[in-house]
């Protein structure tokens, strides 16, 4: 049986892994493809916030996206010049 902390850590990691996709959906105005529960979890983590009826990244969410993008850039092989 998993402990509550381990389950929350696993869920947080899953949310982190999906954050860039979620942000992309928001930018393309396809928020309907994100479940209400997932949105609630991002808001609870302070990665997203409601602003005038729409969702936007918080400063924490922006920093998380930068970190994830940086990790992806380092993991991607670069073509030889």
Overall pTM surpassing 0.85 (yes/no): no
The pLDDT tens digits for 22-78 are 999 999 999 999 999 999 999 999 999 999 999 999 999 999 999 999 988 887 766
Q: What is the chain's percent helix, strand, coil content, to nearest 5?
A: 65, 10, 25
- Please state, in angstroms and rounded to a whole number, the distance separating the CA atoms of residues 32 and 12: 21
Cα end-to-end distance, the chain, whole Å: 51
Residue 35: which of 15, 17, 16 has the closest Cα?
A: 15
| Predicted pLDDT of residue 5 | 82
- Please state, in angstroms and rounded to a whole number, the distance separating the CA atoms of residues 11 and 41: 9
């Amino acid at each position: 049986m998993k402990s509550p902390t381990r389950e929350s850590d696993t869920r947080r990691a899953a949310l982190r892994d999906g954050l860039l996709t979620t942000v992309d959906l928001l930018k393309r105005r396809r928020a309907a493809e994100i479940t209400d529960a997932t949105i609630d979890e991002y808001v609870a983590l302070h990665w997203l916030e409601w602003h005038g009826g729409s969702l936007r990244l918080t400063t924490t969410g922006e920093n998380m996206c930068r970190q994830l993008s940086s990790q992806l850039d380092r993991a991607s092989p670069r073509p030889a010049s």
